[in-house]
Structure 1
Amino acid sequence: MTVAPDSLAAALTATSVAVAAAVLLSAFWDRGAGARRVAGRAATALLCLLTAVAAAGIWVNRQVDTWTSWSALLGRDPAADATAPAAGPGGGRVVTLTVAGAASGLTLHVAAYLPAAYDRQPTERFPVVEALHGYPGSPAAWLNRLAAARHLDQEISAGRMAPTVVLFPPQTPSPLLDTECTNLVHGPQAETFLTVDVPAAAAAQLRVRTDRAGWGLIGYSAGGYCATNLALRHPDRYAAAASLSGYADPGITVGDGSEHTLNDDRWRLRHLPPPAVALYLSSGRADRKAHHDTETLRCLARAPLAVTTAYVDGGGHSMSVWEAAEDPAFDWLSGWLGRPVAAT
């Protein structure tokens, strides 16, 4: 079985190789003489540096799940990051959709969590939440590091959340390109993919509600910004959005200056009529940027925009904070979204 680049085995192996390289450097430091000694030292020092960098990179990748397969790392399999493990026995299941984006021009794979009721109630259509990942990262982080399928099974089984389809789309076609879910000038049209192509594909391939009351967004870090920004920009598509440690602006150059205007949530709330959507803004109190932006958006909000805030004591910008905030955020979203309805 192939060891994945985000696995514990890969991280431990890389660390062991780095340690071995350091030992080799020590052993060969005084070997030989003259040019041979210089060449030996240079070669072993370079090996030591490369293995240390590789080990550090694999440990970081393990935290954010940017690359979940070696083929994805080499750029040969852009769909690999969307491949998701199945949910637990008796719960929901995870499938993968192919979204050929007619509007955006992007063809990407999207993991989809289907609640147990999806199979038990074949005559119903279900509400949908699009779950957006951070940068660097991939949809796999929701299913691996944040164990979203397990959390959804738990909240739905406890009755705190209605049976809901949750989609995990990529916000970028390239792990090294941060789109912040915007339409980049001369770049990927991520906003169009997420707000037009993904809903169209879900409606064509799954039994889901197609009205705005049945659609919401959630995201962490960059995905948190994506969730609030897309909800404010597309109130005709989404009824509610939850942000876990998100920001008020994209922090990148979109190419048309909109990072300072239409794609800056503070600017929108100051200069445009507020839309009739609901926002759930959560962050760790020690996460200065996210906490500050959350408070700013709360203060700028006015009817008919509804804002709920929640804070994790201590906690910085980390997966542990987002997992702690995950259940309340999904439950809150479910309270704002419509329930499953009879299919017509």
Structure 2
Amino acid sequence: MGLTSKTVLVLAIGLAVVLFAATVLIWPRLARRSAAAVFGRVGLLLVTQVTVFASVGLLANNSFLFYGSWSDLLGRQQEPGIVLDRTTGAAASRNILRVGMERPDVPGGSRPTAGGRIDKVVVAGRRSGIESPAYVYLPPEYFQSDYAHRNFPAVIVLTGYPGTSENLLKGLQYPRTALDRVKAGRAQPMILVMLRPTVAPPRDTECVDIAGGPKTETFFAKDLPQAVSDAYRVGRRARNWGIIGNSTGGYCALKIGLHHPNRFVASAGLSAYYRAAEDPTTGDLFHGDRSERERADLLWSLDHLPQPDSSFLVTTSRQGEGNYRSTRLFLAKVRAPAQVSSIVLNSGGHNFNTWRREIPSALEWMSSRLSED
């Protein structure tokens, strides 16, 4: 049973309740001063507290998906995401490989024509040399005869750091939300390419091309769209592509959209920050290159680089978010031909609950900016 399984959570809560009741019932029998009674009381308190803490921890993890699996929790995550030197030209292998399929957690999810399909893939970047796992959600229309010859718009969806791509499926429920928006007539069918920005774990590369290191920006801006367009019915023009993310993924989405308007017409940052982090998780990103450090500052880019003919969406909260002031600065610096929109909540923290409140409107906004090829 998986770490996020409801069965595991119910068993943990049930065990905690049973042990608590057992402690209440057995405690009077252990009210003696013998060594056995003392060890009995200590043992009951210990196992009861452990099960209670485990239940609370599992409940919090199921709500916010800090860890997606037991191996992730124990630090043994084996998910591929390494930098490789790859051959080019005629000897190069396929750029995207499907390694599994999942049913979307939606009504009719067992039938692709009703609920769509989720492909688990590994994407190989020929320019960047990066390989990374991803989930590709194909909407029901992709499998319906009326759409058999139609290309679909696509959206890259990014988690925060060091999140897992499963967070986008289970915690933030992107496929379910996208399907609901289409059924409500508020959005068009879109292909979602869901993954984490940590393509060279455990390093946080902040979606920049690091000299002598991972070429993360190249992977997301060039390799990933090309690989998906080669494998699925997705348009290849900027108007066919959007990118969205939360936290670190939000910074990456805005950065890549701002610097690559020839690839993405729309970019959305949920609770994003606007300058590349530099800390022990990132290492030395710029190696003293001032121009690259400035370019990774989105507020600097808006002041000093040409404004793209693209659309941006940013979100924040008046209370609970640390990016309120910087988001207002971003909004003030966007000028024509660029366009900018915002979602500003009265209150909301830097967490899954806040992002779940923003994602439906963000997907509707994204849909309105994208077009079929």
Tell me the TM-score range normalised by the shorter chain. 0.7 to 0.9
- Secondary structure of the 2:347 match is coil
For 1:5, the equivalent position in structure 2 comes to: 3
Q: Percent identity?
A: 31
Q: Deviations over 1:83-121 (max 9, x none)?
A: 755243123221222212222222222101111111111
Q: State whether residues 284 and 316 of structure 1, in contact with CA within 8 Å, keep that contact through their aligned partners in structure 2.
A: yes
CA pair 68-31 structure 1, distance change in 2 beyond 3 A: farther
For 2:107, the equivalent position in structure 1 comes to: 88
191-200 vs 216-225, greater mean Cα deviation: 191-200
Give 1:177 deviation, angstroms: 3.3
Q: Measure the CA separation in 1 of the matches of 2:322 and 2:80.
A: 32
Give 1:251 deviation, angstroms: 2.0
Q: State whether residues 314 and 342 of structure 2, in contact with CA within 8 Å, keep that contact through their aligned partners in structure 1.
A: yes
Q: 2:175 aligns with which of 135, 149, 155?
A: 149
- Give the 5 Å matches for 1:289-304: 289-304=322-337
Q: State whether residues 66 and 175 of structure 1, in contact with CA within 8 Å, keep that contact through their aligned partners in structure 2.
A: no
Q: Measure the CA separation in 2 of the matches of 1:260 and 1:44.
A: 56
For 2:131, the equivalent position in structure 1 comes to: 107
For 1:68, the equivalent position in structure 2 comes to: 68
Q: State whether residues 84 and 111 of structure 1, in contact with CA within 8 Å, keep that contact through their aligned partners in structure 2.
A: no
83-92 vs 154-163, greater mean Cα deviation: 83-92
Q: Measure the CA separation in 2 of the matches of 1:264 and 1:245.
A: 16
CA pair 324-306 structure 1, distance change in 2 beyond 3 A: same
Q: Measure the CA separation in 1 of the matches of 2:211 and 2:52.
A: 37
CA pair 85-261 structure 1, distance change in 2 beyond 3 A: farther
For 1:195, the equivalent position in structure 2 comes to: 221
CA pair 104-56 structure 1, distance change in 2 beyond 3 A: farther
For 1:118, the equivalent position in structure 2 comes to: 142
Q: 2:160 aligns with which of 115, 134, 158?
A: 134
Correspondence 1:179 to 2:205? yes
Q: State whether residues 78 and 173 of structure 1, in contact with CA within 8 Å, keep that contact through their aligned partners in structure 2.
A: no
170-179 vs 196-205, greater mean Cα deviation: 170-179
For 1:325, the equivalent position in structure 2 comes to: 358
Q: State whether residues 137 and 175 of structure 1, in contact with CA within 8 Å, keep that contact through their aligned partners in structure 2.
A: no
Q: State whether residues 172 and 179 of structure 1, in contact with CA within 8 Å, keep that contact through their aligned partners in structure 2.
A: yes
CA pair 214-57 structure 1, distance change in 2 beyond 3 A: same
Q: Which has the larger radius of gyration?
A: 2
Q: Measure the CA separation in 2 of the matches of 1:66 and 1:76.
A: 13
Q: Deviations over 1:171-215 (max 9, x none)?
A: 114664333323345543322222222112201211100111100
Q: Measure the CA separation in 1 of the matches of 2:50 and 2:293.
A: 40
- Give the 5 Å matches for 1:29-68: 58=58, 61-68=61-68
Letter in 2 for 1:88: P
- Secondary structure of the 1:199 match is helix
286-295 vs 274-283, greater mean Cα deviation: 286-295
CA pair 136-122 structure 1, distance change in 2 beyond 3 A: same
Letter in 2 for 1:327: P
CA pair 265-273 structure 1, distance change in 2 beyond 3 A: same
Letter in 2 for 1:335: S
Q: State whether residues 83 and 140 of structure 1, in contact with CA within 8 Å, keep that contact through their aligned partners in structure 2.
A: no
Number of aligned residue pairs: give it: 331
Letter in 2 for 1:338: S
Give 1:220 deviation, angstroms: 1.4
CA pair 85-67 structure 1, distance change in 2 beyond 3 A: farther
Correspondence 1:265 to 2:289? no
321-330 vs 56-65, greater mean Cα deviation: 56-65
Correspondence 1:225 to 2:247? no
For 2:94, the equivalent position in structure 1 comes to: none
For 1:77, the equivalent position in structure 2 comes to: 78
Q: Measure the CA separation in 2 of the matches of 1:88 and 1:16.
A: 29
Q: State whether residues 64 and 136 of structure 1, in contact with CA within 8 Å, keep that contact through their aligned partners in structure 2.
A: no
Correspondence 1:243 to 2:269? yes
Could you list the runs of 5+ residues in structure 2 that have no partner in the other structure?
82-99, 109-113
CA pair 11-179 structure 1, distance change in 2 beyond 3 A: farther
For 1:337, the equivalent position in structure 2 comes to: 370
Letter in 2 for 1:97: V
Q: State whether residues 68 and 167 of structure 2, in contact with CA within 8 Å, keep that contact through their aligned partners in structure 1.
A: no
Q: Measure the CA separation in 2 of the matches of 1:152 and 1:284.
A: 23
Q: State whether residues 253 and 267 of structure 2, in contact with CA within 8 Å, keep that contact through their aligned partners in structure 1.
A: yes
For 1:204, the equivalent position in structure 2 comes to: 230
249-258 vs 328-337, greater mean Cα deviation: 249-258
CA RMSD in angstroms comes to 3.5
